[in-house]
Structure 1
Amino acid sequence: MQLTEQTLPATGHATRFEALFKQHFGELHEYAYSILRDWDLAEDVVASMFLRLWEKYNWEEEKGAIRAYLYRSVYHDSLNYIRDQKVKTRYQTRTAHAMKDETDNAAGKIELSQLEKRLAAALNTLPEKCRTVFQLSRYENLKYQEISAKLGISLKTVEAHMGKALKTLRFELQEYLPLFVILFLKLGWL
């Protein structure tokens, strides 16, 4: 901290300030360190407190109990620093979680979109009757009995088509199996 003649109070005050600084800086620094557990940070807190004292203290009305004032100021400045750091950390943590969630959501949407495309391609590889049975079962939520009646085929044929469709889809989409389960849950198939 560089003091100039313009910032100096009256000469007697400058001498009093310098004496206070020399007398108390070391012990205040140790006190701040006991709270903050960071040597350089403690030095900054004490130096800032002395700067504020220099700028705002009413030297004409000094009552002599300045040592208690200095300790109280260092104590509050240290606690304010800790509180500010906790707020910053909490904000950074929330921001990091929100960004991670957004990234995860975006990645999940891309994977889900890819899965839906692969599912459509896999469905197109199925024979027409097999694909129709699967779509009636999974997209229109019809029961096997209803599909049998609607298509005019036996219940066993419906079961066989569904078995074939599911086997083919499992093979074609095996790399997406976890997402496949999520998609089925989303679509209400499971």
Structure 2
Amino acid sequence: MTVYSKLPDTELTTLLKDGDQHAFTEIYNRHWKLIYAHVYKMLRDEDDAKDVVQEVFGNLWLRAASIKSATNVSGLLYIAARNKVFDLIGKNKVRADYIGEIASFISDSSNAQVDTIDEKRILEILEREIQKLPPKMREIFELSRKDDLSHKEIATKLNISEQTVKKQVQNALKVIKPKLNDMGISIAFLLLLR
């Protein structure tokens, strides 16, 4: 008789792929508290956190057959939970001031399972922050970062001084960078904030 509690995650994952409900139950019991703790830390709402975790484990069971054999189930659960939290944020079901709470989850060095950040979502968050800038500052920032215009070109185009352009770009960065840095995001700056 198999003692599931003594099996490593890799064996449990193989059994799960074959539809073994006891393997799923062991994975659930082994990882639920930790996944819940991370989700709750980001959302600060018990009901939302429980819903997210339930959905993550429900999807794990429903998609068990498609899991790759060498998959680290712990990492899979972390990434799925993170993506569900991003979905909640994207649908405005969580207040915007909780975005900063994602930082401790994404940048947590003990959380080695989360190796990559979904760049598309980062860019969506970055774009949302840019859209919150005052109109003139946003226009100057977008001309600088998106259209790759120099400060001189922007000054000429908008009929303002280069110093004003420089100051507006610096102010925009001062507003945007801390919000993204709080989330442990530096990839966005490599792509857009050079």
**TM-score after normalising by structure 2:** 0.39
Between structure 1 and structure 2, the one with the greater Rg is 1
The structure carrying a bigger helix percent of its residues is 1
Relative CO higher for 1 or 2, CA cutoff 8 Å, sep ≥ 6?
2
